[in-house]
Amino acid sequence: MGKVEIKKQHKYETLLATAYQLFTTKGIAATSIADIAQKANVAKGTFYLYFKDKADIRNRILIKQAEKILDAVEAAQAKSEPLDLNDRVFFLIDATADAFLHSGMFLRFTVKNLSWDLFQDALQTVFSSERFRLSERFETMLRDAGKTADSPALLLFLLTEMAGGAIYSAVAHHYPADYAEIRPYLRDSVAALLNAHLKDSAGNTEGSL
């Protein structure tokens, strides 16, 4: 990377970090593009060389922080012992909740600024990225466990919606309770969903065995 590219990357990262700090302390609505540029010591016009608007920089912050959460999940998974399929799936859910709970600034940013829809969009963007390829990972987990599903994509969608919504509400807003309280209910719900839709090599679901 040449000097020009390094300088551009530095400005990009500075704007991103500055916006993140201001959005966390003041809130997105109370922060202007001029505020971000001034605190980052760049001209207001420079902002538009890197981002289209506040929504654009917010979305890039979300994706970057969601990647950090999933990095923490991967690190935890790498240290875990081999588990059966239900345990592996819930381990990932647990690790995601723990990483979000201990994400510090991102948790404060989420509480102050984000609806579930925005939080969900960021996670889905990262999940479907070339780096994470969650759908491929899920299908590999099924194959390794000798399981199939009529529609792995729909099953994964339901799992991420259910678990993601529960984590967001419990960790960010303590609603309807803290994560520790809803955890056993979520675990049972995840197991019930998997058992209802996963089949063994003979085509039997868990409930029919």
CATH assignment at residue 20: 1.10.10.60
* 96 and 159 within one domain: yes
Q: Is residue 141 part of a domain?
A: yes
* 76 and 46 within one domain: no
* 88 and 44 within one domain: no
* 69 and 8 within one domain: no
pTM: 0.87
* 8 and 84 within one domain: no
Q: Is residue 70 part of a domain?
A: yes
- Determine the structural domain holding residue 85 and report its residue range: 59-199
pLDDT at 209: 43
pLDDT at 4: 85
Q: Is residue 206 part of a domain?
A: no
Cα 195 to Cα 95, 168, 207: the distances in Å are 21, 24, 6
pLDDT at 149: 94
The DSSP code for 124 is: H
**Tens-binned pLDDT, residue by residue, of the chain (209 aa):** 788 899 999 999 999 999 999 999 999 999 999 999 999 999 999 999 999 999 999 999 998 998 888 889 888 888 887 788 999 999 999 999 999 999 999 999 999 998 999 888 888 888 888 888 889 989 999 999 999 999 999 999 999 999 999 999 999 999 999 999 999 999 999 999 999 999 987 777 765 44
* 154 and 64 within one domain: yes
Domain count, the chain: 2
Q: Is residue 103 part of a domain?
A: yes
Q: Is residue 205 part of a domain?
A: no
| Cβ contact 196:205 at 8 Å | yes
Burial (0-12, 13-18, 19+ Cβ within 10 Å), 12: middle
* 64 and 11 within one domain: no
The contacts of residue 96 (CB under 8 Å, 6+ apart) are 69, 70, 73, 163, 167
* 43 and 123 within one domain: no
* 192 and 142 within one domain: yes
* 77 and 27 within one domain: no
Q: Is residue 208 part of a domain?
A: no
pLDDT at 206: 65
Q: Is residue 204 part of a domain?
A: no
Task: Determine the Cα–Cα distance for residues 86 and 193; give it in Å rounded to an integer.
Answer: 10
